[in-house]
């Protein structure tokens, strides 16, 4: 008995960050906007009407003048808002399809196998998400994930003609899209791979689909071979199940300004430990090792460069923020060298395990039941009253080394005190 | 009318059981088997839904509808903006809270206060409905 071909959908939010900002700023409906990376470094998102003027990744300080000239409004990234809006979008999608793989903050693959009217469902998802969140999405539908991604790209490119939903399960439509798409636009083809493929005369997605899979594997990798097979219509990639607990947890941020003293770096590291340990407890893991690293800026030729890290083995697997902070602050003392201008610190919890998963040595101490209870209470208080209500003593409330986010919009959906005055 | 969008409230431990008994050390409570469910205001007001938003209302133009300065409104974005509903409307991209009236071919945004005249939506106006107010909450302390 032959099984029906799988059908995948890729749903992608259009200019997601910009769309989130506009939902609560209707006055900017027709004003081009850009969103900047942490520390207001460079452009990471643009509304459609800003795209002709600003390139992705352009440093903010270089384009200030250009933004003013074209009336483009810059925003610092407001991840509290984007995260909340993303959750709404994903919840809506989940309620309408059999299975979802949340691929990124603004994209999800869905399983549409066995659904009669996939185009109708695609349109319904689009209108429902738009209505409930104000965020426009594009929907690509095909027999493989790689083709669904391509269909989505086409939906975006030909928004007016397609209404934002493109189904290329039909081979005639699929071939049209393959012929009219540059190979660089294919999911998983990076800039270097594009150069290689160019050299072999593979310029469109169609030529890649018809390329000999074994040659690709031999010359490059199994990844690009799979990409080619997927383009030709054979599904090689499945919908990924919701993720297993992470094997490592990282919290790393640039400081808002260069730091030369040890005390504020310790504060920063304690703050990052606080956050990382929250994530650790949220996934019910314990960690056996913690890695702390600090570094100076790497690009300024006039500044002395230094980077160093330290890995600490804890005496027992733990999620106790007090123990982790003590270890991390101690680590800063070990790696800090005076005379440098530090720009960034990173805290990484590694060797994670689930409670009960590690072999308990009879003679080794484990985390006390009180410590575990205390952490539960800590998380509950912070969940109820907001992150940072209860924190370890080394974590300041308003540090002057905090990230620069001078043009951040309000946390409209997560903070009662951040009110929108119209 | 001023308002501010607030967003979901943390679910927290604020569910109120229909009956609440301490478990006695001696005899089990005769009511233990009759505890049916828990009331959640989140559910009653439907603020956990992905289309639900909280908006802080200000101004006095909707007093006749029982909406006063500082009231918290629950706004549903996917609710049909039918005739007579109180809505957050974007009139020429300016947000306002008014009662929506669809009378024949006319669209009117009505205030609930004689001091504020109705606003007829004219041909050159741009009107979008941001959401429909499903309930409002007022603190009495």
Q: Going from the N-terminus, what domains does chain A have, and what CATH number goes with each? A: 249-385 (3.30.1490.100)
Separation of CA A29 from chain center: 25
Give the confidence band of A357 by pLDDT, cuts at 50, 70, 90. low
**Best CA proximity match to B109, nearest among B76, B83, B130:** B83
Q: Name the pTM for this structure.
A: 0.76
Distance from CA of B37 to the nearest CA of A (A): 23
User: Which range has the worst mean pLDDT, A100-104, A245-249, A289-293, B109-113?
Assistant: A245-249
Per-residue pLDDT, B15: 44
- C-alpha span between A287 and A331 (Å, rounded): 16
Say if residue A21's pLDDT is above 80: yes
Per-residue pLDDT, A137: 96
Separation of CA A38 from chain center: 13
Per-residue pLDDT, B4: 46
Distances (CA, A) of A172 to A168, A175, B77: 8, 5, 39
Q: Which has more confidence, A303 or A230?
A: A230
Contact, A36 vs A44, CB < 8 A?
yes
**Best CA proximity match to B2, nearest among B90, B66, B95, B65:** B95
Does the CB of B77 have a partner CB in chain A at under 8 Å?
Answer: yes
Contact, B47 vs B74, CB < 8 A?
yes
Does the CB of A417 have a partner CB in chain B at under 8 Å?
Answer: no
Q: Which of A26, A412, A414 sits opposite B93 (nearest CB)?
A: A26
Over the stretch B18-43, which tens digit does the pLDDT of each residue have? 444 455 566 666 666 665 667 778 88
| Residues of chain A contacting residue B7, judged by C-beta atoms under 8 Å apart | 84, 411-415
Query: Which token pair is B138?
Result: 């007022």
Say if residue B8's pLDDT is above 80: no
β-pair partners for A76:
A36, A408
Does ipTM come in above 0.85?
Answer: no
For the stretch B101-111, what's the b/e string if a residue is b when 16 or more beta carbons lie within 10 angstroms of its beta carbon?
A: beeeeebebbb
Say if residue A403's pLDDT is above 90: no
Give the confidence band of B82 by pLDDT, cuts at 50, 70, 90. very high
| Residues of chain B contacting residue A413, judged by C-beta atoms under 8 Å apart | 5-8, 53
Does the CB of B36 have a partner CB in chain A at under 8 Å?
Answer: no
- C-alpha span between B97 and B86 (Å, rounded): 7
Which residues lie closer than 8 Å to B85 by C-beta, 6 or more apart? B79, B99, B100, B132, B133
Contact, B106 vs B117, CB < 8 A?
no
Per-residue pLDDT, A253: 82
Residue A35 parent element (H or E): strand A33-36
- Pairing type for strands A137-142 and A165-167 reads parallel
Say if residue B77's pLDDT is above 50: yes
User: Which range has the worst mean pLDDT, A228-242, A290-304, A323-337, B21-35?
Assistant: B21-35
Which range in A294-298, A383-387, B104-108 is most confidently predicted, on average pLDDT?
Answer: B104-108
Which residues lie closer than 8 Å to A43 by C-beta, 6 or more apart? A34, A35, A36, A37, A54, A55, A56, A57, A58, A60, A63
| Residues of chain A contacting residue B12, judged by C-beta atoms under 8 Å apart | 383-384
Q: Which has more confidence, A184 or A356?
A: A184
Say if residue B1's pLDDT is above 60: no
Q: Which residue of A has its CA nearest to B1?
A: A422
Residues of B annotated as catalytic (active site), given as ranges: 61, 98
Q: Collapse the DSSP code of B125 into the 3-class scheme (helix H, G, I; strand E, B; otherwise coil) and give the result.
A: coil
Query: Which token pair is A169?
Result: 């399960």
Say if residue A422's pLDDT is above 90: no
Distances (CA, A) of B62 to A421, B10, B42, B52, B106: 18, 28, 25, 21, 21
**Best CA proximity match to A380, nearest among B47, B45, B14:** B14
Say if residue B7's pLDDT is above 60: no
Per-residue pLDDT, B125: 94
Query: Which token pair is A199?
Result: 């050299």
Contact, A186 vs A205, CB < 8 A?
yes
- C-alpha span between A156 and A166 (Å, rounded): 9
Tell me the Cα Rg of chain B: 20
Per-residue pLDDT, A263: 92
Over the stretch A205-224, which tens digit does the pLDDT of each residue have? 999 999 988 888 888 888 89
Q: Which has more confidence, A269 or B16?
A: A269
Say if residue A257's pLDDT is above 70: yes
A218: DSSP letter: H
Q: What are phi and psi of A145, to 5 degrees?
A: -65, -40
Would you call A216 exposed, middle or buried from its count of C-beta atoms within 10 A (0-12, 13-18, 19+)? buried
Contact, B126 vs B109, CB < 8 A?
no
Say if residue A299's pLDDT is above 80: no
- CATH number belonging to domain B3-7+44-137: 2.10.109.10
Say if residue A405's pLDDT is above 60: yes
């Amino acid at each position: 008995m032959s099984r029906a071909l799988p059908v995948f959908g890729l749903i992608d939010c259009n200019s997601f960050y910009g769309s989130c900002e506009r939902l609560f700023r209707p006055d900017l409906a027709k004003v081009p906007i850009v969103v900047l990376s942490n520390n207001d470094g460079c452009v990471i998102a643009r509304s459609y009407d800003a795209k002709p003027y600003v390139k992705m990744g352009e440093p903010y300080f270089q384009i200030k003048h250009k933004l003013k000239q074209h009336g483009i409004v810059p925003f610092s990234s407001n991840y509290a808002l984007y995260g909340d809006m993303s959750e709404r979008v994903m919840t809506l999608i989940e309620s309408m399809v059999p299975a979802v793989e949340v691929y990124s903050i603004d994209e999800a693959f869905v399983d549409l196998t066995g659904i009669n009217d996939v185009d109708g469902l695609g349109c319904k998802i689009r209108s429902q998400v738009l209505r409930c969140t104000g965020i426009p999405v594009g929907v690509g539908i095909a027999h493989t994930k790689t083709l669904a991604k391509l269909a989505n790209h086409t939906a975006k490119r030909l928004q007016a003609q397609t209404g934002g939903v493109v189904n290329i399960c039909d081979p005639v439509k699929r071939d049209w899209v393959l012929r009219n798409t540059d190979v660089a636009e294919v999911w998983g083809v990076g800039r270097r791979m594009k150069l290689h493929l160019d050299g072999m005369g593979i310029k469109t997605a169609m030529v890649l689909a018809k390329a000999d899979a074994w040659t690709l594997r031999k010359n490059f990798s199994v990844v690009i071979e799979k990409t080619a097979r997927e383009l030709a219509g054979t599904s090689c990639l499945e919908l990924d199940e919701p993720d297993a607990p992470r094997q490592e947890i990282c919290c790393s941020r640039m400081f808002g300004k260069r730091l030369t003293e040890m005390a504020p770096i310790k504060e920063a590291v304690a703050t990052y430990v606080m956050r990382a340990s929250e994530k650790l407890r949220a996934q019910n893991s314990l960690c056996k090792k913690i890695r702390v690293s600090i570094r100076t800026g790497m690009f300024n030729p006039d500044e002395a460069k230094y980077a160093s890290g330290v890995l600490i083995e804890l005496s027992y697997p733990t999620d106790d923020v007090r123990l982790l902070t003590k270890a991390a602050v101690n680590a800063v003392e070990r790696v800090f060298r005076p005379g440098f201008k530090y720009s960034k610190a990173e805290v990484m919890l590694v060797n994670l395990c689930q409670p009960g998963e590690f072999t308990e040595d009879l003679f080794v101490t484990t985390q006390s039941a009180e410590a575990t209870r205390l952490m539960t209470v800590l998380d509950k208080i912070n969940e109820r009253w907001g992150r940072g209500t209860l924190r370890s003593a080394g974590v300041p409330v308003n540090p002057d080394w905090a990230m620069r986010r001078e043009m951040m919009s309000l946390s409209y959906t997560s903070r009662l005190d951040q009110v929108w005055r119209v | 009318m001023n308002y501010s969008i607030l967003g979901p409230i943390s679910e927290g431990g604020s569910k109120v059981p229909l009956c609440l008994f301490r478990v006695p050390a001696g005899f089990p409570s005769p009511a233990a088997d009759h505890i049916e469910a828990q009331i959640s205001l989140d559910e009653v007001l439907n603020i956990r839904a992905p289309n639900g938003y909280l908006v802080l209302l200000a101004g006095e133009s909707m007093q006749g509808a029982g909406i006063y300065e500082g009231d918290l409104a629950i706004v549903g974005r996917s609710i049909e903006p039918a005739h007579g509903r109180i809505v957050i409307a974007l009139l020429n991209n300016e947000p306002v809270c008014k009662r929506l009236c669809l009378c024949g071919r006319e669209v009117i945004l009505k205030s609930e206060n004689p001091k504020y005249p109705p606003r007829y939506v004219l041909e050159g106006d741009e009107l979008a409905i941001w959401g429909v107010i499903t309930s409002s909450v007022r603190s009495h302390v």
